[in-house]
Homo-oligomer: A and B are copies of this chain.
Amino acid sequence: MRLLGQEDKETLAMALDHSGQRATPQRETVFGVLLDQRDHPTADEVYARTKSRMPTISMATVYNCLETLVSSGLVKQVNIEREPTRYCPNLAPHAHFHCRDTGRVYDVPVPEGMMKDLAKVLPGEYSADSVELVFRGHLAKEKTK
């Protein structure tokens, strides 16, 4: 467990302020949880991890904080097939890989500009502001843990 660094705290404060919201201990802790372990946790998992750092936090607050972070643009929601929503603090354009064996979700870096280029397949009348690319399959040798 590592607390939010000064830099991350700045980023958070800026982004929250920019979207008219306040920095709070709960929001900082939840954000720290996401930055600390980038395995695309669900709200439940975020709750468990946050609770170990801030035992009084509630599930409702975790949902509220996650929503706040998403609306401020610092965190992205990742939805995979009806499963509980996962949360990803990786702001770089990237794809996701969903392992059918373990259910884990991995970030997949993509070449600079590729995500944007994908939108070129769209006919003229469509204008996309987000592009989502998800692979599903298996890992050769599963990362243990």
Q: Which A residues are within 8 Å of any B CB, using their own CB? A: 77, 79-82, 85, 95, 97, 100, 106, 108-111, 114, 118-119, 121-141
Starting from the known contacts A118-B133, A130-B136, 7 additional A-B residue pairs (CB-CB under 8 Å) come to A100-B129, A108-B122, A126-B138, A126-B140, A127-B140, A128-B136, A131-B133
**Interchain Cβ contacts under 8 Å between A and B, 27 examples:** A79-B81, A79-B82, A82-B85, A108-B121, A108-B122, A108-B126, A110-B121, A125-B139, A125-B140, A125-B141, A126-B138, A126-B139, A127-B137, A127-B138, A128-B135, A128-B136, A128-B137, A129-B137, A129-B138, A130-B136, A131-B133, A131-B134, A131-B135, A131-B136, A132-B133, A132-B134, A133-B133
Question: Given the known A-B contacts A126-B137, A127-B137, A137-B130, are A95 and B121 also in contact in the complex, defined by CB atoms under 8 Å?
Answer: yes
Bound complex: CA of A131 vs CA of B126, how far in Å?
A: 21
